[in-house]
């Protein structure tokens, strides 16, 4: 990391696809065919994964903490809902992108508030923005439907061809494709010089500024990208469930998102994805076993996860697959979960 | 080698047997997917319904018409997208014959298209907005609709010397239903609405609204808050001294839910509400129901518990009528027009709308044996949902 060519080689090396990553996406596609009766929960996971990815982009790569990411999710959800309800844009894919941009615009305007402060201020500001939007949505119930939510959303077929079905098959593949495309984009972003500069800012903003990185502009840019991602996740939510209610802005949504990143790990793109899977599965498992007290169990597991430490759990989880890989391809091919650099 | 093969065979046989057992059981069982909020703000609704169903199955046994009844409980925390997902998974994966519960209107509405598509009866045991039964021909309701009680309290108030009323309702579909029906009947009877306030459904702070109520000096205030929020409301009502200002509380009975009533304190005394059920309803069947419920769960049943109790009764009776046939269309046909004596009084299912027809009682909060009860003093018999008969 001393001379320029070294930086670019290491960046390129870091951007190379690893076998573990390819395996991950094969598993995602396989799930779509293996569990045809579980499309709805899988769609839910995919949406959450995208949402978690969006938070990881600012938290893991730029060091911006946020407790109000549901604000963008909600704006995306309501935009998609209103567009479909009033027949402004009937094509789901176009509506999806428009909803994403709506969230991005909000991201642009709120970014000025967010980049000003340090961590604690940012937590409060982001939280405040989400609560503000929730209150506004409730106040203008004529537009948003208030607590009852938007009623009567009917989604048109995707690209005029694939209709949303009751079993959620279309919804699942649609969401998965969106997730994959946006994941590719995110991967490209974080491995680009832009992404590297973000990490420099995260590690030491002052130093970043000293070596000529336009800190604020970079932070605004990534904040907008993240808002766009969250908006898309929200729009996917509305499009696949045909619902949008006040609860899209809820604090729980933002807080759950943080938990997912805590479980999955920040600062590498798969963290949010894995976190979403684990979180949702835990929730599903416990609420099936004990519909009354599942919150207790999920809390307990989260405490244990934090106590045991994520790195150790990752090692345990990867022990079996690594054993097999080692037999097949030798020592060097083992899959390891990259931990975020200490910040 | 030989031994290993034997072990494998044995294991295979066990596995086959294990797979076969649920397959047999499935043919004999009628599965009911119960989706209610067990966590979050509406948890008391879910708890009451769940309790009531458990009680009923303890009393009547878990087999009917040769079929075993199996309840699969799921928590949706009153969030409609959860409800929809759970309903779909119960229908597709668990192959439930009936979905039931639904603590809030948006949840019931979210599940309605699934009921239509899968031809599975949806028994609404709590949600009270008029339109729900119109959303699917498979929806049957055993709870109540808000216009049922609100129109009656509107008429009653106009006839009983209440001239000016301020209203305070939760800002969502049932609250708006309650307000509209009350207003129509009260104003038609010569009354005047002096102040209209809508409070948010989630975590409401009633204090600022109550101050406005107090300033507008009405004879009475019409209150609708969903079951579970009544306690909080009455506490703030008393704190603001409204109980001493002579402003009476009237409304549909949700605010005076039996579940919470006894803890509200003397501020609640004298409140007049119109509703479908009071734990003090003077019938033998209700006395037994209340005693059994208290014994089992150490609490008084509220109207949500009765909604659940009647819901499961309806399912039992419909299965008896079809001889255990749990196909959606047959069950719905059997349920239409069914009449029975419930703890709340005589009720029936309207064959036209699949909505409940029941007596609405005017009650006043009084102290009976040191405990607060809604004591019924007037009865309106066999009230249909006015939200629909209008059309």
Which residue's entry shows tokens 């000096």?
B217
Cα distances from A111 to residues A126, A201, A219, A272, A323, in angstroms, run 9, 16, 8, 22, 46
Residues in B closer than 8 angstroms to A240, CB to CB, are: none
As a whole number, mean pLDDT of residues B131-151 equals 90
Cα distances from B318 to residues A40, B274, B337, in angstroms, run 31, 30, 11
| Cβ B179 vs Cβ B213: under 8 Å | no
DSSP assigned state of A158? B
CB contact under 8 A, A40 and B106: no
* CA pair distance B383, B358, nearest whole angstrom: 5
Among A287, A289, A290, pick the best mutation site for testing chain B contact (most B Cβ within 10 A). A287
Interchain contact B49–A (C-beta under 8 A): no
Q: Kindly give the parts of chain A with pLDDT less than 70.
A: 1-7, 329-343
How high is the ipTM of this complex?
0.74
Flag whether pLDDT at B27 surpasses 60.
no
Which residue's entry shows tokens 């605004």?
A220
Residues in A closer than 8 angstroms to B128, CB to CB, are: none
pTM: 0.80
> What is the pairing mode between strands B29-36 and B67-75?
parallel
Interchain contact A247–B (C-beta under 8 A): yes
Least confident of A130-144, B63-77, B201-215: B201-215
Give the residue, B321 or B228, on which the prediction is more confident.
B321
Average pLDDT, chain B: 85
Q: What are phi and psi of B337, to 5 degrees?
A: 80, 5
As a whole number, mean pLDDT of residues B352-358 equals 90
CB contact under 8 A, B114 and A166: yes
The residues with which B166 forms a beta bridge, in sequence order, are B195, B221
Interchain contact B205–A (C-beta under 8 A): no
Specify the pLDDT at position A343: 36
Query: DSSP letter string over B205-258?
Result: --HHHHHHHHHT--SEEEEE--TTSHHHHHHHHHHTTGGGTTPEEEEEGGGG-H
Interchain contact B105–A (C-beta under 8 A): yes
Residues in B closer than 8 angstroms to A38, CB to CB, are: 89, 93
Assigned domain for A19 exists: no
When divided into structural domains, chain A yields a total of 1
Mind telling me how many Å the CA of B33 is from chain A's nearest CA?
12
Least confident of A197-206, A282-291, B23-32, B256-265: B23-32
**Tokens representing B262?**
């006894």
* CA pair distance B162, B175, nearest whole angstrom: 21
Specify the pLDDT at position A1: 45
Provide the residue range defining the domain that includes A78.
32-292
Assigned domain for A21 exists: no
The partner residue sitting opposite B85, judged by closest CB among A40, A292, A295, is A40
Confidence of residue B88 (pLDDT cuts 50, 70, 90): confident
As a whole number, mean pLDDT of residues B73-77 equals 89
Angle at B44 between CA B41 and CA B47, to 5 degrees: 130
* CA pair distance B180, B184, nearest whole angstrom: 6
Assigned domain for A16 exists: no
Assigned domain for A300 exists: no
Specify the pLDDT at position B270: 84
**Tokens representing B200?**
């948010």
Interchain contact B85–A (C-beta under 8 A): yes
- Chain B (63-82) residues lying within 8 Å, Cβ to Cβ, of chain A: 73-75, 79-81
| Cβ B45 vs Cβ B127: under 8 Å | no
Assigned domain for A326 exists: no
Specify the pLDDT at position A74: 93
Assigned domain for A334 exists: no
Q: What are phi and psi of A154, to 5 degrees?
A: -120, 120
Local structure of B31: helix, strand or coil: strand
Angle at A320 between CA A318 and CA A322, to 5 degrees: 65
Assigned domain for A330 exists: no
Structural domains of chain B, ranges and CATH numbers in brackets: 31-144+283-354 (3.40.50.2300), 147-275+360-389 (3.40.50.2300)
Residues in A closer than 8 angstroms to B92, CB to CB, are: 37, 167
Interchain contact B57–A (C-beta under 8 A): no
A-B contacts (CB, under 8 Å):
71
């Amino acid at each position: 990391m001393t001379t320029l060519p070294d930086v670019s080689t290491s960046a390129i090396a870091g951007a190379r696809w690893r076998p573990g990553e390819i395996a991950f996406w094969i598993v995602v596609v396989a799930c779509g065919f293996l569990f045809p009766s579980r499309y709805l929960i899988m769609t839910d996971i995919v949406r959450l994964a995208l949402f978690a990815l969006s938070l990881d982009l600012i938290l893991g790569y730029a060091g911006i903490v946020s407790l109000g990411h549901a604000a963008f999710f909600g704006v995306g959800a309501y935009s998609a809902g209103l567009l479909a309800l009033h027949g402004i844009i009937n094509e789901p894919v176009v509506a999806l992108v428009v909803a994403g941009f709506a969230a991005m615009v909000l991201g642009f305007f709120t970014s000025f508030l967010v980049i000003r402060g340090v961590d604690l201020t940012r937590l409060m500001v982001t939280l405040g923005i989400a609560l503000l939007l929730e209150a506004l949505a409730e106040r203008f119930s004529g537009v948003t439907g208030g607590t009852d939510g938007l009623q009567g959303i009917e989604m048109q077929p995707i690209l005029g061809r694939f209709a949303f079905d009751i079993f959620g098959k279309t919804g699942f593949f649609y969401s998965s494709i969106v997730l994959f495309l946006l994941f590719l984009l995110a991967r490209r972003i974080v491995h680009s010089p832009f992404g590297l500069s973000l990490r420099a800012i995260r590690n030491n903003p002052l130093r970043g500024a000293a070596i000529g990185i336009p800190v604020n502009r970079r932070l605004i840019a990534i904040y907008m990208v993240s808002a766009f991602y969250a908006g898309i996740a929200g729009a996917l939510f509305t499009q696949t469930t045909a619902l949008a209610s006040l609860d899209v802005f809820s604090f729980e949504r933002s807080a759950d998102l943080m938990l997912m990143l805590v479980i999955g790990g920040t600062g590498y793109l798969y963290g949010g994805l894995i976190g979403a899977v684990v979180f949702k599965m835990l929730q599903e498992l416990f609420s099936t076993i004990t519909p009354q007290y599942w919150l207790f169990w999920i809390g307990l597991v989260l405490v244990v996860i934090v106590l045991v430490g994520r790195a150790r759990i990752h090692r345990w989880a990867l022990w079996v697959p690594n054993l097999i890989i080692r037999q097949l391809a030798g020592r060097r091919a083992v899959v390891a979960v990259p931990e975020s650099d200490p910040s | 080698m030989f031994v290993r093969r034997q072990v494998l065979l044995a294991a295979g046989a066990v596995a086959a047997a294990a797979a076969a057992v649920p397959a047999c059981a499935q043919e004999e069982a009628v599965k009911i997917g119960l989706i209610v909020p067990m966590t979050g703000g509406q948890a008391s609704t879910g708890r009451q319904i769940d309790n009531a169903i458990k009680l009923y199955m303890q009393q009547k046994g878990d087999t009917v018409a040769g079929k075993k009844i199996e309840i699969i409980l799921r928590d949706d925390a009153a969030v409609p997208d959860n409800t929809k997902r759970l309903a779909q998974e119960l229908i597709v994966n668990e192959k439930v014959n009936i979905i039931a519960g639904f603590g809030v209107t948006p949840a019931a509405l979210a599940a309605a298209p699934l009921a239509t598509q899968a031809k599975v009866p949806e028994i609404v045991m709590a949600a009270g907005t008029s339109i729900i039964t119109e959303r699917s021909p498979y929806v049957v309701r055993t709870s109540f609709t808000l216009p049922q009680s609100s129109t009656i309290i509107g008429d009653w108030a106009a006839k009983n010397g209440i001239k000016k009323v301020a209203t305070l309702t939760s800002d969502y579909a049932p609250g708006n239903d309650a307000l509209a029906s009350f207003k129509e009947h009260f104003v038609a009877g010569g009354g005047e609405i002096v102040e209209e306030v809508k409070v948010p459904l989630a975590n409401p702070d009633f204090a600022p609204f109550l101050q406005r109520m107090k300033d507008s000096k009405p004879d009475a205030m019409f209150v609708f808050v969903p079951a579970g929020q009544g306690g909080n409301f009455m506490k703030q009502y008393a704190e603001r001294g409204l109980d001493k200002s002579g402003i009476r509380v009237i409304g549909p009975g949700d605010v005076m839910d039996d579940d919470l009533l006894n803890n509200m304190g003397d501020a609640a005394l004298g409140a007049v509400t119109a509703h479908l059920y009071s734990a003090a309803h003077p019938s033998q069947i209700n006395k037994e129901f209340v005693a059994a419920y208290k014994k089992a769960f150490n609490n008084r049943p509220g109207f949500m518990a009765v909604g659940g109790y009647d819901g499961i009764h309806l399912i039992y009776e419909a299965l008896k009528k079809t001889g255990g046939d749990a196909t959606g269309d047959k069950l719905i046909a059997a349920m239409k027009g069914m009449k029975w004596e419930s703890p709340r009084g005589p009720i029936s299912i309207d064959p036209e709308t699949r909505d409940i027809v029941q007596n609405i009682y005017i009650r006043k909060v009084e102290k009976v044996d040191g405990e607060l009860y809604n004591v019924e003093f007037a009865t309106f018999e066999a009230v249909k949902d006015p939200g629909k008969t209008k059309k």
